Structure 1
Amino acid sequence: MSVDLPAAVLFDMDGTLVDTEQLWWDAVADVAGRVGYALGETDAADVVGHAIGHTATYLHTVVAEAPCVHELTDALDAAFTTRVADRIEPLPGVVALLDALAAAEVPLAIVSASPRRVVDLVRDALGSARFAVTVAAEDVALTKPDPAPYLAAATALGVEPSACVAVEDTMVGVTSAEAAGCAVLAVSSTTPITPAPGRRVVASLASIEAGDLHASLVARA
């Protein structure tokens, strides 16, 4: 019996494919600590799910006598990349889902707000042949929550965003994907995400099979 599948599946990276959200938080806390700022829960809205440039600008605004945004960006980039290179861990269910989608010949993309060198590290660790397209922060003029990254991925794959399912773990990413027209499978991990039309929320990808992804498209109709 055939199973309906999306035209493509567009995966967020940090906190969705690999366990890097904590590494990102640790990198930001490290850099903030060096300039005399203690990162706390109230800072999460400008750290979790955001690109390096956004968080660097945020730190520049909240830290007295902070270095320039460019210096903070470079420091965050180095701190995060070092941590990712040392520990790339696929999250539960990720490898099995990627294998199932590959077997079904569903095109896959990574759509990330992380810098290109970090995206390439993760892509290579998971298997570069798995992903037809990768979109990193440098590839678009505006990154998440703007829809540009997901629109770029769909265009590169030659599919309509409305026929794709995006897999995300933050509201920043969900906002980006939905603004692009994608249905969303959200993994509620570091931040709470509520279900909505065209948005299914699960605790882990370990419970998801390839055929389950079509449900997000159906729910939006």
Structure 2
Amino acid sequence: MTSPAAVLFDLDGTLIDTEPLWMAAEDRLAAEHGIDWTADDQAALVGVDLWDGARTFIARGVPMEADAIVARLVGEVLEGLGGDLPARPGAIELLASLRAAGVPVALVTMSTRAIVDRVEATLAARLGIAPFDATVAGDDCERGKPDPEPYERALALLGVEASRAVAVEDSFTGARSALAAGLTTIGVPHAVDVSQLPGVVHWPSLAGRTPADLQAAIEERDALGARA
């Protein structure tokens, strides 16, 4: 086999470079309420379930309901995206090669369905084909990343076993979710250096990567497990 049975992509910071938009929206919210919001605070929310992030703001003194905080942040990110999708290096090319090879692909994100729909429509127009066979958004899940539920949902929708599939992530939270679901997990550092997490296959970038490289990551994990 030269390709994995399926590939499951995170969105923010993995496929699309939206992390600066999220961080800017969070900075504005914190500043509006006089909260000292640091780079460490920003990093702590990368890849986190949006409602968990909202509860962080509430605990820090933002007098808003969690749903209202999420709606505000999502609205600002959608406005910042406009009609463009700032892709991460090599991400769209790898996605296109997977679609051309007929490999099932899922999007597994803590962003809301509104953002998923925007991204899916824009990528479909760019690629000329539906970009994903399944999508799981943050508001689809009872328990968000780092719980395995988002990835388990996607695997069930694809009808694929975790042992034969690959997840691609850029955050500690997301990588923990994928690992807990039993997936070979490739970490591509962006806002945080996810390569530091044990069990993650480190790729500096998706540029130049192929479906065969993804399959090789599964085989490498299996070989390491057999020697353990």
| 1:20 and 2:21 are equivalent in the alignment | no
What is the aligned partner in structure 1 of residue 226 from structure 2? none
Aligned to 1:217: 218
Percent identity over the alignment?
37
User: How far apart are 1:159 and its partner, in Å?
Assistant: 0.6
Residues 32 and 86 of structure 1, relative CA distance in 2, 3 Å threshold? farther
Alpha-carbon deviation of 1:42?
2.4
- Identify the match of residue 7 of structure 1 among 5, 8, 31: 5
Q: 1:95 to 1:71 in 2, by over 3 A?
A: closer
Q: 1:147 to 1:106 in 2, by over 3 A?
A: same
Paired residue type of 2:146: P
Verify the 8 A CA contact 2:4 2:211 in the aligned structure 1. Answer: no
Q: How does 1:1-221 map to 2 (within 5 A)?
A: 4-63=2-61, 66-85=63-82, 87-127=84-124, 129-194=130-195, 199-221=200-222
CA distance in 1, matches of 2:198, 2:164: 15
For structure 2, which runs of at least 5 residues remain unmatched after alignment?
Answer: 223-228
Deviations 1:125-163 (A, max 9, x none): 111612110100111111111100100001001111121
Amino acid at match of 1:55: G
Unaligned stretches of 5+ residues in structure 1: none
Runs (4+) off by over 6 Å: none
Distance 1:194 1:97 in 2: 20
What per-residue deviation string (whole Å, max 9, x for no partner) do you get for residues 79-108 of structure 1?
Answer: 222223354211111222112111211000
Q: Number of aligned residue pairs: give it.
A: 218
CA contact (8 A) 1:199 1:216 kept: no
Q: Is the 8 A contact 1:111 1:153 kept in 2?
A: yes
Q: Distance in 2 between matches of 1:37 and 1:87?
A: 31
Amino acid at match of 1:58: T
In structure 1, distance between residues paired with 2:56 and 2:197:
30
